[in-house]
Amino acid sequence: MPKDHGIGASTKRREDVRFLTGKGRYTDDININGQAYAWFVRSDVAHGTLNGVDTADAAAMPGVLRIFTGADFEAVGGIPCGWQVTDRKGEVMLEPRHPVLAHGKVRHVGDPIAVVVAETLEQARDAAEAVVPDITELEPVLDMKAAVQGGPLVHDEIGSNLCYDWGFVEENKEAVDAAIKGAHHVTTLELVNNRLIANPMEPRVAVGDYAQHDDSSTLYTTSQNPHVIRLLMGAFVLGIPEHKLRVVAPDVGGGFGTKIFHYAEEAFVTFAAKELKRAVKWTATRSEAFISDAHGRDHVTKIELALDADGHFLALRTDTYANMGAYLSTFAPSVPTWLHGTLMAGNYKTPLIYVNVKAVFTNTVPVDAYRGAGRPEATFQLERVIDKAAREMGVDPIELRRKNFITEFPYATPVAVEYDTGDYHATMDKLLEIADVAGFDARLAKSKANGKLRGLGMNCYIEACGIAPSNLVGQLGARAGLYESATVRVNATGGLVVMTGSHSHGQGHETSFPQVIAEMIGIDENMVEIVHGDTANTPMGMGTYGSRSLAVGGSAMVRATEKIIAKAKKIAAHILEASDADIELKDGSFTVAGTDKSLAWGDVCLAAYVPHNYPLADLEPGLEETAFYDPANFTYPSGAYACEVEVDPETGKVTIERFAAADDFGNIVNPMIVDGQVHGGIAQGIGQALMEGASYDEAGQLVSGSYMDYTMPRADDLPFYTVDHSCQTPCTHNPLGVKGCGEAGAIGSPPSVVNAVVDALQRAGHTNVTHIDMPLSPARVWAAMQG
């Protein structure tokens, strides 16, 4: 019998009631009395010298309050980068200045040049059309290899477009080179991990407010981590101390990584509100989102896998060019390095690995973390090269993987991480069962009879989630700690409020977090309320990304609740005249072990706030505790995915016929929410594999700048998924034994889709097709079949 409450129950998401009935309170729903409206004037060229901005005509237009340009921001800081990577030679990365508004130069289409603030949105927009930037166009640099081979400089002052040249593990390089040189077989694959645009349903919005009575600023923003924004913007950009700055991220309509980062628009509205002494609101249009939200992925990679005659992996070498875009977004440098290179071992016992990454500036929108962030890029190249190796060596791709599986844990990889637990054979066995691999041949015959090609692709994945041990990431260049926090407040009548540093923008925390507390105390989930997203009423937290909320934020909540329970037991012991060591808490009731003496949860809570019969000499009144939790290690979710496709040989159109995912997320709090996270992740992975791709033309214009040309996956593009998370090896180092499930689908699905399409083409006799770059659009697949 599935549980109907607490940990393991598929409790329906309580937040969906307001989301689905239009009662959510998003940033754009926030309107402050007297607010003005901002409209950004953005560069329509990819690269140019900004000689000046003529605002005279615009300033005289109706309703205009003020027009800001880069000159207004010379006295404040630039947008900071949150991670400093050290290169192969021990030197720190090149870190160009990132002004709030462009000054001297424009560096990508969409680079903000000026902002009109006016009484109404239409007035601001009208006046923005009269702002005349004086730009001398420069040749843009778009191709990464050209950029590091003497192409035009994106940032003249740093003298190079190469942000860093990272080697990992540098000491292994010679041994890896030697192993590849002497190997029985080497499989080489060159591929592109396509640039993506996150496209959350809710575009970014920022509302700045300023209170003259106490000289304090408030920013309402579409963020996954309001405390991080408060720290970055307050300390590094505007110089506002945290006690004078409140950042609120209310209901947020999807983030997928692109709402982690601190953006110029946030700093602008906060700055402008103080200058103008009135609130300033900016709401991105969808077109603006395409050219101002940080993009994702965009790697160009060559990977080489060396094997012995028996198919054992001997060594792996990868060379990647990673696009940073025109500026360093908040966590951009960490994505192709520490979130990518450390995952190159995958699920396999490859003894020698060397990863080289060249991060490159180009005249494009900045690139940063997008669902999976670095781990999809690692998984894609590894699982593609293994499939190619299996084909070249004439062995079964599943058996080749099994032969190289890591089977003993903990396992220290040659790329600096230690997997605490996992069972890769178990997820593979489960996958073969739920994907009905045995029935593939019959389905293939049916497809053939209908004139269609059919292919089966599968892959494994591992990811590092639960980001992350602060002391470790500090050594790796993070300019932040990555703990999480929770304050648990028990009210006098027994209800609880959890103020968490995690942020929910679709993950269902308001439902799943109470399930944990309800389980711990033995009370109804509805007695627990989750508060998040406001720096004024939550403890300093690092927010939600990297599948970290339950593993890190949930652990902080557990620790705080443990403190609550320990204190409540002391109160109960006093009232029941017993030793607190003898008090047991079960089903919301405190009992003295071995007796029938008991006290209800609510009676103890009331006693804490009405301490008439209370051990005041030894114990403070009240029942409220805070915990900060810093994880001991990453968590390592893993799994095996299978995709079956049909390909129309006449048009190249790929349809996903079946998709199965067997994941090991450790313990599960809410299976329904986990299913949903996996479904969404797979949809995005299929989107990347078949449809999505940001495309620039030679002039640096974003060709795929709207939904007319950027293909988002739609419901009818996707199959019914078969997902399973019954294989559970609990995380060994967090109190819930959970690993995280938010990114798995997006990490695990692209390789199986591409493997399946290549398999279909190979089976149809297109033996020269060993790879097709994503997205596998009909035109690309058709072209591949033409030889």
Interacting residues toward another protein by CB under 8 A:
125, 129, 287, 650-653, 691, 695, 703-704, 707-712, 777-779, 782-783, 786
Q: Are 350 and 404 in contact (CB under 8 A)?
A: yes
Is the CB of 442 or the CB of 449 nearer to another protein?
449
Q: Are 486 and 531 in contact (CB under 8 A)?
A: no
Only one residue has tokens 């995958």, namely: 346
Angstrom distance (rounded) from CA 485 to CA 481: 12
Is the CB of 84 or the CB of 695 nearer to another protein?
695
Is the CB of 610 or the CB of 783 nearer to another protein?
783
Neighbours of 284 (CB within 10 A): 21
Beta bridge partners of 658: 644
Is the CB of 617 or the CB of 708 nearer to another protein?
708
* Angle between helical axes of 671-686 and 744-763 (0-180°, round to 10): 50
Residue 126: CB minimum distance to another protein, A: 8
Is the CB of 621 or the CB of 707 nearer to another protein?
707
Is the CB of 91 or the CB of 129 nearer to another protein?
129
Beta strands in 468-579 (DSSP E): 484-490, 496-500, 528-531
How close are the terminal C-alpha atoms of the chain, in Å?
55
Q: Which of 85, 82, 637 is nearest to 337 (CA)?
A: 85
Q: Are 496 and 464 in contact (CB under 8 A)?
A: no
Q: Are 371 and 294 in contact (CB under 8 A)?
A: no
Is the CB of 523 or the CB of 656 nearer to another protein?
656
Only one residue has tokens 């990508």, namely: 108
The three-class DSSP label of residue 360 is strand
Residue 768: CB minimum distance to another protein, A: 18
Is the CB of 470 or the CB of 704 nearer to another protein?
704
Angstrom distance (rounded) from CA 780 to CA 172: 38
Is the CB of 614 or the CB of 710 nearer to another protein?
710
Is the CB of 188 or the CB of 704 nearer to another protein?
704
Q: What is the dihedral of CA 231, 232, 236, 238, to 10 degrees?
A: -80
CA distances to 206, 208, 275 from 238, rounded to whole Å, are 16, 13, 12
Is the CB of 608 or the CB of 753 nearer to another protein?
753
Q: HEC string of 69-97? A: EHHHHCCCCCCCCCECCECCCCCECCCCC
Residue 119: CB minimum distance to another protein, A: 16
Q: What phi-psi label fits residue 499: left (phi over 0), alpha (psi between -120 and 50 degrees) or beta?
A: beta
Parallel/antiparallel/unpaired status of strands 352-361 and 313-325? parallel
Q: How many CA atoms lie within 13 A of 647 on its CB side?
A: 31
Chain centroid to CA 130: how far?
38
Residue 556: CB minimum distance to another protein, A: 42
